[in-house]
Every structure is written in structure tokens, then in C-alpha cells.
Amino acid sequence: MEYWEYPRRIAGCGILGILRREGSPKIRAEETLSSIECVRYRGSKYGAGFAAYNLDGNAEGYFKVKAFVKDETALRHVMKILSENVEGDFWELGFETPPETKFMSWTSYVDSTESSLRKAVDEANRALMNPTIRGRIYSWGRYVEVFKGVGYPTDIARLYGLVERDARADLWIAHTRQPTNSPGVYPIWSHPFASYEWSIAHNGDISSFGANMEYMRYRGVSSFVGTDSELIAVILDYLTSVAGMKIERAALAMVNPFESVLIDSQAAGMTLHEYIQGRGAWLDGPFSVVAGYCDGSDIYMLAFADRSKFRPLVVGVDDDRIYVASEEAEIRELSPDSDVWTVKPGGVFLASMKRGVILKGREHPEVFYRKSRRTPTSITPLIDARGLGYSQINSRLLRYYQSGVREVSVINVNGHRYLGINVPHGCRLNIYGTPGNCLANFNKGGEIIVYGSAQDDVGDAMYAGRVVIHGDARDVIAQAHQGGEIFVRGSVGNRAAIQMREFKDSRPYLIIGGRADDYLGEYMAGGVAMVLGIDALDLDTPLVGRYAATGMVGGRIYIRGKVDRWRIGLHPPKPDVLRYLKGLYLEGLIDYETLRQFETLRGEITVDDVSTTLSGEALRRVSKLFKSKYYKELRVETRQLVEKDLELVGDPLRRFFREYNLTEDLYRRLVDETFTVISIADQKSERGIGLQPEEG
């Protein structure tokens, strides 16, 4: 197998999960390996691993216990603690990795109850970490088996001979690691981390680590290898196996819903009381997690993302399998035709072998996400990306453009980063497949057409030119976008159009055919972002997530339909605003009717609610909860488009419709719709300052 040669660059870890549907063939190790190697650049030589689940793999019902041991003494220690604690016998399978590895992997079948083994594992692991690291029991389930070590995924697969012996599984979890919290020189720090029948792979760095550790410290787990990721496996196991929580509920709680969501327990999927009782178990900071679990009758694949969506997470489904990945390229490597969508901020995705998709990780993915596979029809020079690295593609492209060719197509693109960064003004690049992260960054005038979906960070700091995506795009599209236009036929993820800016002769446009997640237009300083939802004209659902336009200082956002004001900007918690208003009532500054009016208001109380209802001293007093030195007042209007709007967006919108062959009827219907228009209340000038963006 040949893989692209990437220069080493720091990126996040890569995660992957592949679950077969009942009735479909088992998944081969080789497929899993080729998929996770698509994001080789996200990892490093410091750790990779796999977890394999097989429902039918354990007829006798014995546990398969796997330990890394430094030497014979450490192994004797493990065996002694096991034999003292477990009820039945154990049958050693011996070492499965060669003696030259720093820590050899030792395996044994163990006949035990869950609780005795649980205790033995904790005791052995505590002993093995004191006074120095001498080993670790890292896998002890009946249905799950972990294979991990120090190296890239290919190295680990070779170490355990996974491809050579054609290992197969109902579910694979895979990981390639970029260490942050702990060094990666020993295999004990590699992912997946397992606890009982759970295994997880994690990309991120959770800030709740210390709180989570305090939570688990007196709940039967006293030994930690010191990474945040291990704790996620331990907590999932504790909540579902010991505390008796259902998987869905545990996961919905672990993503740590905002209090405003928790107050509505229906929306949160749990009660505020449950949240408080389990305080300390929930996660904060960046994470995207894929986890496997087997309860003896079905196999589950769970995935969830943090509520700020600091890490990527996509899912895919086809007739045979269900996928979870850091990048779409991992899914496309195995399944060019699957339906792929982004998990929303704080979203939970759950599927099982027998039941299929249980939680989708967002609302209406089938409406908002698009499949867009096409083969080239125009006669242009062709580059086959298969087997090439991105720099090889880009230098070939440059040679074509320098020789006077104006249009080039690249086929079989899958996860190649940095494409479209060197397309000259007046030239065109057609991409067939799934371009990797950082597409069209710093584009200075080229036209880039993507027949497929793009990944994260499209059009970052783009100066001029066009990007036309026929599928979807993921997180952080059009960041610091400062000229030219970016069209997406489908949906985009989190933090679209953040820090977008404009100049006197350069106004950037981002037009999204589907929907956008949280923080649309955060810190936006200029330009125009539009969210159309053209496939959802008859669906009553918001087209943006929350916190749209927070910190916005300029520019304009158009979102089709009425967007509730609480989705726009940042608001103080409702209980605190209500209390303040009650204080004003007690002081005689507002009357009882007014107080009642706020108490019965649905959703959060916004600055517009208080400024339209209150005046004088009462308004002055309560305003301080909403405003600060860094607060810029937004103007949020829900209205039809007027001539002035069409002057601003008419031409790009027409081009959007032409580009995707959308009908004139649809155009007319769209421009007649109601839009939510967000701008700055005291915008000084209609145009940005300075003529053109300057190169930084």
C-alpha cells in the first residue's frame, strides 16, 4: 500500500469508527487502515491504535485481558493480582508483540465476574503506575479487543499483523495521535482507551480533566495514565455500567448542555436534576469522540462533539455501514456514495449494528446535506490525484497555468489539503471528489469549482476570485474572507464567515444554500453572508444555530425566515435577568404586569425585549447585564428584501442560482420570502475603509 508523503505539520488527532449493519459483511482491518491513513497528517509517530468489536467472537464468555508490561516482574505482578481477585481461571495467550517493543503486549483469557475483574484491573493498574510506569491493563472486555502502540496506524497494524491475518470486526474504532497532554513514547498513552466493553478515540484536550478526575477518584477508579482521553472511556463505562444510565442520556449529559437548554429537559434529553447530581462527570473544552460499546446483544457506535465545536466530526451512512470520522475523506475512501453530514456543536450521534442510526447528531440532515458526485464532462487537462500529495498536485497545476492553460480538472481528490491556493486570476480549477482542509486559502482571483463537498477552513483570508461548492462545507468557512465570492449549494458547519471584512473596492460574499451552525458571522467586520435554506422552504426549522453575529462590528447577514432573537448574539442567563427585574419591581421601578410579561416570555430574554418594554431608570439599570465596553448594538430586522438589499445581494444571488441550475421560479419565490437581516445599529459608512485588502 502506498500513502502520500506529507511533510510533518501539527494538526489535531484523527479519529474513525466503522460499524457494519446487521446482514452486511464484517469490516476488514485493511479497509479500516486505508481509511484512517487518509488523515495520516493529523497524527504523528507517537501513537495509533484500533479497537475491534465482535458480537460472535466470544462463545465461552471469557474476558480477554490485555496488558502492556515492561518486564517479567511487572507481568508477575499483574498475574498475581488477577489470580487473587478473579473467581475463575485464566489462560495465557502470551505475548503478541515482539520483545524489542518497549512495552510488550501480553494477553490472557480470564474467567471472572465483571465486578471482580473491574476491581482487579484498578488494583493492578495502580500497582503498575507506582513508583514508576511498569505497565498497564489496557483492554479487558468480552467483545472488544484493543490493538495499540507507538507509531502511525500502518505501523500498529503491522505490529499486530492485523492486515496479514485479515482481522475482521463488526465495529472498528481507529485513531492516529498528535500528543498534547502526555508524551507518546509509551504505548499506554495511545488510543483507543478502553474500559470494560467501552473503547474510545478522542481528538481534543478537555479543560474539565481535573474535575472529571475528582469525580471518578472515589468511584472505584484510582489509577489514571494522565491523559484526558482515558477518562472519557472510564466515565462512559461508569455511567452506563455502574450508575445505570442509558447510553443516549449519558452522552447527552457528557457534552455538557448549556443551562438554557437544561432548563428545558425535553430539549436536553435529561433533567436539570440529573445534570446537577452528576456534576463533575461532564466534559468541557475541545473534544470530538468516537466510542464503541457492546452490551452482549448489540454493538453500538457513539460519537459526540463539544458544544463550542472546537474539533471536527462527520458521520456517513450507506446501505452496509455507518461511519464516524474527523474528515469526510476517511469515509469517502471506503464509501464514495454514502450520505455524509456534520455533527452539530454539542451533538450526539448514536448507531447500533441491529438498529441502525438511533441519534443523528443534528436535526434534518437529509434535508440540509447534499450528495454531489460527478465525473468530468468538459475536455480539460486532467490530473489524477490518487497517489499524489497535495504539493505534487499544486506544482502540476502551476505548470499547466504557466503554460497558458486556463482550466484544469483534478479527479479522485480525497482529503488533499491546500488545493486552490495558487490558481491565477482568470484561471479555473475543477475538483472532483473531497478536497481536504484549507481549500482556496489566500485565493487571489482563481475560480475553484468543487464537485463534491469541501472540509474545514475553506477560503480562509481569500482576497478575490470564486469558490463554488456543489456539496457541503464543514466548519470555519470564509474566515477572514475579504474579497470574491464563495457559494455552497448545501450546508456549512460552525463558525462560518467569522472575521469576514471588506474594503472600499472589495466586498466578499458567502452564500449558503442550506443552513449554518453556531457563531455565524462571529467578529464579522464587513461583507455579506446569506443563508437560504432553499431545500427547506416548507420546513419550519431555524437555518442557523446559536450565537450568530456575536462580536459583529460590520457587514450584513441575511438569513431566510424569522430567526428568534435569542439565537443572535450573547445573552445573560434568563434566571438572572428575571431576578434583576424582580428587584426592580420590589424597588417600584417596574409594575407587576411588566414583570409577569417577562416571566411568561418563552426562550431567553434579549436586549431587544428589555429595550422595547422598559424605559428610563429601569432600562438603564437592567441594561448593564446585557452591555459592556465591548458591546456593539446589533440591528436585527425580520422583513422582506427591499431594493437596497437587492442592490447589495441581487447579482451574487443570480450567479448562485445560475451556478447550480436553479429555476427562475425558485429565485422569485426566494426573494419574496421574509429574511432576518443582521447589521450594526450605528454603522458609520456603507463601505469598508481602504481600497483593497493588503497582503499580510
Partner 1 sequence: MAGTTGKQPGEPQIISMGSTGPPHIENPHFVRDRLISDGAQVTRPSIDPYREPVETYVYLSGGRIRLSMPVVVKTDPDADPVFLSAVVKACYCMNILAHVGPNFPGRLHEYAEAVVADIKLMGLARFAALTAGAGELVQSPDPVFVRAPPSEEYDWIPEALEAGIDGIWLDEDLDGNVAVEVAVSLLDRELRKRGARNKVGIVAGGSTIRGSDDIHKLVLLGADAVEISKAVMVAVGLGGQRPEERQLQERVENLLLGIQRELKLLAGAAGVSNIFNTLVGNRELLRAVELDRETRIKLGVKQAGVG
Nearest in space to 484 (alpha carbons), one of 429, 445, 427? 445
Of 302 and 589, CB closest to partner 1: 589
Of 188 and 429, CB closest to partner 1: 188
> Measured from the CB of residue 227, what is the shortest distance to partner 1 in angstroms?
12
Provide CB contacts within 8 A for 199, sequence distance 6+: 51, 53, 139, 141, 144, 146, 173, 192, 193, 233, 291, 292
Of 23 and 244, CB closest to partner 1: 244
> Measured from the CB of residue 487, what is the shortest distance to partner 1 in angstroms?
27
Alpha carbon 645 to chain centroid distance?
A: 34
Of 308 and 692, CB closest to partner 1: 308
Structure-block grid coordinates of residue 109: 483469557
> Measured from the CB of residue 326, what is the shortest distance to partner 1 in angstroms?
14
> Measured from the CB of residue 37, what is the shortest distance to partner 1 in angstroms?
23
Strand ranges for 252-372 from DSSP E = 287-294, 299-305, 314-317, 321-325, 339-342, 348-352, 356-360
DSSP count for the chain of H helices, then E strands: 19, 30
Degrees to nearest 5, angle at CA 409 with 334 and 418: 70
CA distance 263 to 501: 37
Order of strands, edge to edge, in the sheet holding 287-294?
Answer: 193-195, 198-204, 287-294, 299-305, 348-352, 356-360
Of 272 and 358, CB closest to partner 1: 272
CA distance 484 to 506: 7
Degrees to nearest 5, angle at CA 376 with 375 and 380: 160
> Measured from the CB of residue 523, what is the shortest distance to partner 1 in angstroms?
7
Structure-block grid coordinates of residue 73: 516482574
Distances (CA, A) of 111 to 119, 278, 397, 642: 14, 32, 61, 75
- Residues forming the site for partner 1 (CB under 8 A): 12, 180, 204-211, 213-214, 217-218, 256, 258-259, 272-273, 276-280, 282, 284-286, 307-308, 310, 519, 522-523, 547, 550-551, 570, 573, 575-576, 579-580, 582-584, 586-587, 621, 624-625, 627-631
CA contacts within 13 A on the Cβ side of 581: 25
Provide CB contacts within 8 A for 261, sequence distance 6+: 267, 268
Of 91 and 631, CB closest to partner 1: 631
3-state SS, 436-491, equals CCCCCCCCEEEEEEEECCCCCCCCCCCCEEEEEECCCCCCCCCCCCCCCEEEECCC
> Measured from the CB of residue 46, what is the shortest distance to partner 1 in angstroms?
14
Of 4 and 275, CB closest to partner 1: 275
Of 279 and 668, CB closest to partner 1: 279
Nearest in space to 430 (alpha carbons), one of 470, 402, 473? 470
Of 278 and 483, CB closest to partner 1: 278
Of 51 and 233, CB closest to partner 1: 233
Of 575 and 690, CB closest to partner 1: 575
> Measured from the CB of residue 634, what is the shortest distance to partner 1 in angstroms?
12
> Measured from the CB of residue 627, what is the shortest distance to partner 1 in angstroms?
7
Phi, psi values for residue 554, rounded to 5°:
-175, 175
Specify which residues 372 forms β-bridges with. Answer: none
CA distance 683 to 128: 64
> Measured from the CB of residue 12, what is the shortest distance to partner 1 in angstroms?
8
> Measured from the CB of residue 656, what is the shortest distance to partner 1 in angstroms?
29
CA distance 283 to 118: 23
> Measured from the CB of residue 630, what is the shortest distance to partner 1 in angstroms?
5
